[in-house]
Amino acid sequence: MVKKKSDEIIIDNEVLSFENSGKGNKTKNDNGDEAFLLHLASIVESSDDAIISKSLDGLMKSWNKGSEKMFGYTSSEVIGKNISLIIPKEYLEMEKEILERIQNNETIAHYETVRLKKNGEQFYVSITASPLKDKKGNIIGISKIARDITSQKNAQTHLFNVNKELAYQNEEKEKRASELVIANKELTFQNEEKEKRAAELIIANKELAYQNEEKEKRASELIIANKELAFQSNEKEKRAWELIVANKELIFQNDEKEKRAAELINAIKDLESFSYSVSHDLRSPLRAVHGYAQMLLEDYGTKLDTEAHRLMNNIMKNAKKMGQLIDDLLTFSRIGRKELVKINISMKDMVNHVCDELKDGLNPASNPEICIKELPFDDADKVTIKQVWVNLISNAIKYSKLKVNPVIEIGATINGDEIIYYIKDNGAGFDMRYANNLFGVFQRLHSESEFEGTGVGLAIVQKIVLKHGGKIWAEAKLNEGATFYFTLK
């Protein structure tokens, strides 16, 4: 915030003093003269963009006119208050990540996010954030420039809807064209049948002329021929009516398919919402079950027989297992709603870090040999892509633990513009006949007595990869190992 006193200028609490030289006042500071500073302050105040500075603990220190217009707060309403005042709750975690990067002396340009106005309205902004330093070069705060991009986002949404409608219309045109082809074929067939009947009629007329000569002999044959001709005409009318009915049924079925598709989309959304709600609401009673069981063992353990001890331990074990299952379901549900923040990531550094974390929890005697090949940098959401690596590498460790010399290989191949990552192990593998069940929720190809798990991990991986615009698949042989592949584009 820029302020001016009689003999000093204060910018974000840094004092620039004036000294009287006898011939007039001169500005004495490390950053330039007073006119330049006042000019700079004027630019900040007149900018239509919101220009805000804050301390490392999140307190807002400056607030220009652009900020007042954009957010609806005056500077007196926000100065000294926490930046969370203008950030929706669901975006606060992203703000923490930005703070960590700024403290590492990074400048973050044009990242898109959502902010909150005084009237409670949320809107899209593009933000550039950079560190503020004191004279010694120490980072003392953050400077942010925010631009309202809501109109751009709305235009993008409108364009998406227009393209979707255009695609739908093209599909309808193709359907109508297909129906027209079928109708033309049917019309051609009917014309051929008419020509055949016409030829038969000519033959019948010739036969009639001959029968006139042989009236008595051919009269009965002519009656039979006329009855057959009448029958064929009736059959044509029946076929024509059946075709009309079939067309109506086809139209009805297409309408029903569209309705079922819309109902399926709504059902999926309801299911995600229901899963999140149920999983969240089950946490408290589960903790209570686990806690009471533990209290019974601690307080009355000496009074319980061996079977009671076994049952109580089973209660605690299954409560813990269900807690993990609920956590996985919550993670699966959150992924569908989480906005991706893609940055350029060193995949090799991330995989090394994940492997170190996973090895810490293993028995040193059973640690697998993990070979990490070259991995390129790639654009991805840092939080969710780490979850992909954790789930796939931990699966490889788990399913190869029964091998005498477990070996895991992690690498990538480049095919044109496409990067294909892979995680290969020499573990239990699976039968490829059941490969389609791999990524379903609660789908398991091995018994829980062999390998523990909730059956949600690979479903989470597939959902993250698909949200990045990529794909995932696997190849395996039973008892010889498995290889999982995925892309992000």
Model pLDDT for residues 204-227, shown as the tens digit of each residue: 888 887 887 888 888 788 788 888
Q: What are the distances in angstroms from CA 237 to CA 141, 231, 232, 248, 375?
A: 86, 10, 9, 17, 70
Specify whether the CB–CB gap between 410 and 393 falls below 8 A. yes
Q: Residue 59 pairs with which residues in a beta bridge?
A: 82
- Cα separation, 448 vs 439, in Å, equals 17
Specify whether the CB–CB gap between 210 and 202 falls below 8 A. no
Model pLDDT for residues 272-329, shown as the tens digit of each residue: 666 656 656 666 676 777 777 778 778 877 877 888 778 877 777 776 666 666 666 6
What is the mean pLDDT for each group of 10 consecutive residues in the chain (489 residues)? 37 36 38 56 76 93 94 95 94 90 90 94 94 90 93 89 89 87 87 88 84 82 85 87 88 87 66 61 70 78 80 74 64 68 92 88 74 93 90 88 88 92 90 78 56 70 90 90 92
